[in-house]
């Protein structure tokens, strides 16, 4: 959600920044801007994607080696040239880029207006720039102190970077709630919202924590708290590679990421699934495993696709480990004074590890004494660092805004956790545990078999490209998959789609079914098969167009469906790892036929760092 890039060193800053903003564009892409210091401070910004900004500066002879840039996902103020970042202070001495929300901006703006400040746009960020200016004028202090004082007056979240023409060759950055890291090169320093813009230059990073700032200049960087206490920060080494953040010949990141799932699921299990010993080893939670095993209940909190993975987790933990589970929307959790205490364990799931609502749920649960565990993809992310312990999904960077490989990796981790807990709680017999562990090791090859059908599915996708609505139905483990299928379709193709537990259809949605309604049923030969077949008959009786995701043995469903996408059979609890893949492919293909921007769907951002 908004991307920030900054650079100070010996390279042409605009090249580094534009390149970096393109890498961060998945975080927001409604407008972009750049501020370059070269004696003067030049700001260029415009509505639209980073490429529009690039066109404006491509012929400039600016040789600046210090600058900041921003790609925006609008919160306050429509996406236009004026509201794009960087924002000037009233005297045009400095320019500021911001990720996050200044919640008290309206009150501050009114106060500043009475003092003569004139605002050009509608953003909360511009208010922060003017506040710093006003404080420096009144307090007659140095610029860093003015920034610190201003940041103490704002409520909300921020990741900011500032360049000031009176403070040549330096950049000030600060964070509270919005990620920022420094990339440490040889005589150069990079600033970014995440590691993707800097990995081609350096793998050494310093993560800023909340309420911290850094003053960066040609001699190096100094990190301190916003209250001015100097800090010494650890330099981490990134494991990411440039290849991982490129398309590798695929037309879209989403397609690349769908096709990576054979490897990402295998990577996620590597060293953890010990088939020969019928054992699961989850090092990240080994120290807290006893507390987890003996927990009164498990509360899973997440948002969006990660929440759907959490719902699969509920079925897994209850069935395999006989552990009571509640699944919460992280965004709702803290607003209803949740009953949670030290007997409970909270498990949060987040691909980015930066989702604001999920992070808030972590803090709420910790404050009430619960053990908080995380399943995250991004190593070193805020949630990964703030949880008591956790398990990385190791799916590699996910760039497509629609989450695909992160979901299957999350479900892989949840499956391993549920088996391990089932064994440790004495609720899973050895034979079944061993069958599950062996079958998990076969999942990557089964995923590959499904991916080979991508072309065969094209015909179905083409046929339904212009359907205005879709219904997705599933039961048991595959009810969350139906929700996930519907979410994938609506977010990238803008087709209205709803997911339902199949039996709920009779309680309302059945009214929608006629000969124009595609109904995607996720129907494998599990313990709900008979009931699912009845639901399919009910749809058929109303002439709904049935697209079934079913398994090889399910001849009944194959016969009843107008279109059947057949996947390899597996054990019931593991079926979401396979059934979701045709749904990802279907939504991808439909979105491409509809000429939608698959990797950057409208209004969305990859990482939702505002509440």
Q: Which one of 123, 352, 461, 600 is in contact with ligand F6R (CB under 6 A)?
A: 352
231 neighbors 213 (Cβ within 8 angstroms):
no
Per-residue contact string for residues 477-506; x = within reach of ligand F6R by CB under 6 A: ----------x---x---------------
Cβ proximity to ligand F6R: between 357 and 526 the closer is: 357
- 305 binding ligand F6R? (CB under 6 A): yes
| By the rule CB under 6 A, 608 interacts with ligand F6R | yes
Pick 125 or 393: Cβ nearer ligand F6R: 393
Residue 193 lies near ligand F6R (rule: CB under 6 A): no
Q: Please, are residues 602 and 170 in contact by the beta-carbon 8 Å criterion? A: no
403 scored as a contact of ligand F6R (CB under 6 A): yes
**String marking each residue 507-546 x if it binds ligand F6R according to CB under 6 A:** ----------------------------------------
Please give the sequence-ordered ranges of beta strands (E in DSSP) within 263-312, or none if there are none.
273-274, 279-280, 297-302
Q: How far is the CB of 159 from ligand F6R (least distance, A)?
A: 16
Of 227, 220, 226, nearest in space to 206 by CA: 220
| CA count, 13 A, side-chain hemisphere, 240 | 27
Is residue 505 within 8 Å of 600, Cβ to Cβ? Answer: no
306 sits near ligand F6R (criterion: CB under 6 A): yes
How far CA 371 is from CA of 298, 365, 517, in Å, comes to: 10, 8, 46
Contact 139, 159 (CB under 8 A): no
Assess whether 46 carries a catalytic annotation: no
Per DSSP, the chain holds a count of helices (H) and strands (E) of 19, 27
Site for ligand F6R in 29-68 (CB under 6 A): none
Residue 431 falls in the annotated catalytic set: no
**Contact call for residues 484 and 472 (beta carbons, < 8 A):** no
Q: With contacts defined by CB under 6 A, name the span among 77-85, 258-266, 288-296, 345-353 that binds ligand F6R.
A: 345-353
Query: 3-state secondary structure string, 315-368?
Result: HHHHHHCCCCEEEEEHHHHHHHCCCCCCCEEEEEEECCCCCHHHHHHHHHHHHC
Number of residues near ligand F6R (by CB under 6 A): 15
Is residue 320 within 8 Å of residue 575, measured between CB atoms? Answer: no
Cis peptide, bond prior to residue 489, ω within 30 of zero: no
CA distance 575 to 553: 14
**358 makes contact with ligand F6R (CB under 6 A):** yes
Q: How far is the CB of 375 from ligand F6R (least distance, A)?
A: 9
Q: Is 415 in the site for ligand F6R (CB under 6 A)?
A: no
Among 351, 570, 575, 600, binds ligand F6R (CB under 6 A): 351
Residues 227 to 246: which contact ligand F6R by CB under 6 A? none
> Which is it for the CA torsion 285, 291, 294, 296, positive or negative?
negative
Distance CA 302, CA 358 (A): 6
What is the smallest separation between the CB atom of 432 and ligand F6R, expressed in angstroms? 30
CB of 71 to ligand F6R, least distance (A): 18
- Residue 437 or 580: which CB sits closer to ligand F6R? 580
Closer by beta carbon to ligand F6R, 304 or else 338:
304
Nearer to ligand F6R, 44 or 99 (CB): 99
Helix 13-24 × helix 50-57 angle, to 10°:
170
Residue closer to ligand F6R, measured from CB, 161 or 360: 360
Active site residue: 405, 446, 490, 606, which one?
606
Nearest approach, Cβ of 593 to ligand F6R (angstroms)?
19
The nearer residue to ligand F6R, 170 or 382, going by C-beta atoms, is: 382
Contact segment (CB under 6 A) with ligand F6R among 58-66, 231-239, 283-291, 352-360 equals: 352-360
CB of 607 to ligand F6R, least distance (A): 6
Cβ–Cβ < 8 Å for 330, 356: no
Please, which residue, 196 or 306, has the CB nearer to ligand F6R? Answer: 306
- Assess 381 for contact with ligand F6R (CB under 6 A): no
CA distance 332 to 522: 29
| Cβ-based nearer residue to ligand F6R, 196 or 350 | 350
Residue 509 CA, chain-centre distance (Å), reads 30
Among 31, 529, 607, 609, binds ligand F6R (CB under 6 A): 607
Q: Per rule CB under 6 A, is residue 476 in the interface with ligand F6R?
A: no
d(CA 422, CA 430): 10
Q: How far is it, in rounded angstroms, from Cα 111 to Cα 154?
A: 13
CB of 488 to ligand F6R, least distance (A): 6
d(CA 207, CA 173): 12
Are the beta carbons of 572 and 527 closer than 8 angstroms?
yes
- Cα–Cα dist 451/415, whole Å: 21
| CB distance 108 to 76 below 8 Å | no
In the complex with ligand F6R, the residue whose CB is nearer, 352 or 461, is 352
Q: How many CB atoms lie within 10 A of CB 145?
A: 14
Looking at the Cβ atoms of 178 and 355, the one nearer to ligand F6R is: 355
Interface with ligand F6R, residue 382, by CB under 6 A? no
> Given candidates 178, 196, 202, 350, which one binds ligand F6R under the rule CB under 6 A?
350
Give, in order, the Cα–Cα distances in Å from 552 to each of 116, 478, 498, 518.
Answer: 73, 16, 26, 22
Which CB atom, from 16 or from 384, has the smaller least distance to ligand F6R? 384
Q: What's phi and psi for 197, nearest 5 deg?
A: -75, -15
Using CB under 6 A as the binding rule, whether residue 261 contacts ligand F6R is answered as no
Contacts of 604 (CB under 8 A, 6+ apart): 401, 491
**Minimum Å distance from CB 215 to ligand F6R?**
30
- The answer to whether 402 and 389 are in contact (CB under 8 A) is no
Which residues fall within 8 angstroms of residue 142, CB to CB, at 6 or more apart? none
CB of 400 to ligand F6R, least distance (A): 8
Catalytic residue among 2, 268, 376, 596: 2
User: In the bound complex, which residue of the shown chain has the CB atom lying closest to ligand F6R?
Assistant: 304
Which candidate, 481, 359, 502, 356, places its Cα nearest to that of 411? 481
Binding mask 275-304 for ligand F6R (x = CB under 6 A): ----------------------------xx
Query: So which residues are the catalytic ones?
Result: 2, 606
Which residues of the shown chain bind ligand F6R in the complex (CB under 6 A)?
303-306, 350-352, 355, 358, 402-403, 487, 491, 607-608
């Amino acid at each position: 959600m908004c991307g920030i890039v900054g650079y100070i060193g010996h390279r042409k800053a605009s090249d580094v920044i534009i390149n970096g903003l393109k890498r961060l564009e998945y975080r927001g892409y409604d407008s972009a801007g750049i501020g370059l210091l070269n004696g003067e401070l030049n700001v260029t910004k415009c509505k639209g994607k980073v490429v529009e900004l690039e066109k404006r500066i491509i012929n400039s002879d600016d040789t600046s080696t210090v600058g900041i840039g921003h790609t925006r996902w609008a919160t306050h103020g429509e996406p236009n040239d004026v509201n794009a970042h960087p924002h000037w202070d009233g005297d045009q001495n400095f320019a500021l880029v911001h990720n996050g929300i200044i919640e008290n901006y309206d009150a501050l703006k009114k106060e500043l207006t009475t003092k003569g400040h004139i605002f050009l746009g509608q953003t909360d960020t511009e208010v922060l720039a003017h506040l710093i200016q006003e404080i420096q004028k009144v307090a007659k202090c140095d610029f860093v102190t003015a920034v610190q004082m201003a940041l103490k007056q704002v409520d909300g979240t921020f990741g900011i970077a500032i360049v000031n023409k009176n403070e040549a060759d330096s950049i000030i950055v600060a964070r509270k709630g919005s990620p920022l890291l420094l990339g440490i090169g040889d005589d150069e320093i990079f600033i970014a919202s995440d590691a993707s813009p800097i990995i081609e230059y350096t793998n050494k990073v310093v993560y800023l924590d909340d309420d911290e700032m850094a003053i960066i200049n040609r001699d190096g960087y100094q990190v301190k708290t916003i209250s001015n206490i100097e800090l010494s920060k650890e330099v981490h080494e990134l494991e990411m590679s440039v290849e991982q953040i490129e398309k590798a010949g695929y037309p879209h990141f989403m397609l690349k990421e769908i096709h990576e799932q054979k490897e990402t699921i295998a990577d996620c299990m590597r060293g953890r699934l010990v088939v020969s010993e019928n054992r699961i080893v989850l090092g990240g939670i080994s120290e807290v495993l006893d507390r987890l095993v003996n927990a009164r209940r498990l509360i899973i909190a997440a948002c969006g696709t990660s929440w759907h993975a959490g719902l699969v987790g509920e079925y897994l933990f209850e069935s395999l480990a006989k552990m009571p589970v509640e699944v919460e929307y992280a965004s709702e959790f803290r607003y209803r004074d949740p009953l949670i205490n030290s007997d409970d364990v909270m498990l949060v799931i987040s691909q980015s590890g930066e989702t604001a609502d999920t992070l808030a749920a972590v803090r709420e649960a910790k404050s009430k004494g619960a053990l908080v565990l995380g399943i995250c993809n991004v190593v070193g992310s805020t949630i990964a660092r703030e949880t008591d312990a956790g398990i990385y999904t190791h799916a590699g960077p996910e760039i497509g805004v629609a989450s695909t490989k992160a979901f299957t990796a999350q479900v892989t981790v949840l499956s391993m956790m549920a088996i391990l807990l089932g064994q440790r709680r004495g609720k899973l017999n050895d034979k079944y545990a061993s069958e599950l562990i062996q079958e998990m090791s076969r999942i990557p090859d089964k995923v590959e078999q499904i991916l080979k059908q991508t072309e065969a599915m094209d015909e179905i996708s083409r046929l339904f490209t212009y359907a205005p609505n879709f219904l997705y139905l599933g039961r048991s483990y595959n009810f969350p998959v139906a929700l996930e299928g519907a979410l994938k379709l609506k977010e990238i193709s803008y087709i209205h789609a709803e997911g339902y537990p199949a039996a709920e259809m009779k309680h309302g949605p059945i009214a929608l079914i006629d000969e124009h309604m595609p109904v995607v049923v996720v129907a494998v030969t599990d313990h709900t098969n008979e009931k699912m077949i009845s639901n399919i008959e009910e749809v058929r009786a109303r002439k709904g167009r049935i697209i079934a995701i079913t398994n090889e043995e399910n001849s009944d469903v194959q016969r009843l469906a107008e279109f059947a996408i057949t996947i390899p059979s597996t054990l019931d609890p593991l079926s979401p790892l396979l059934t979701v893949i045709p749904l990802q492919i279907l939504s991808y293909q439909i979105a491409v036929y509809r000429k939608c921007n698959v990797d950057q769907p409208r209004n969305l951002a990859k990482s939702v760092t505002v509440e």
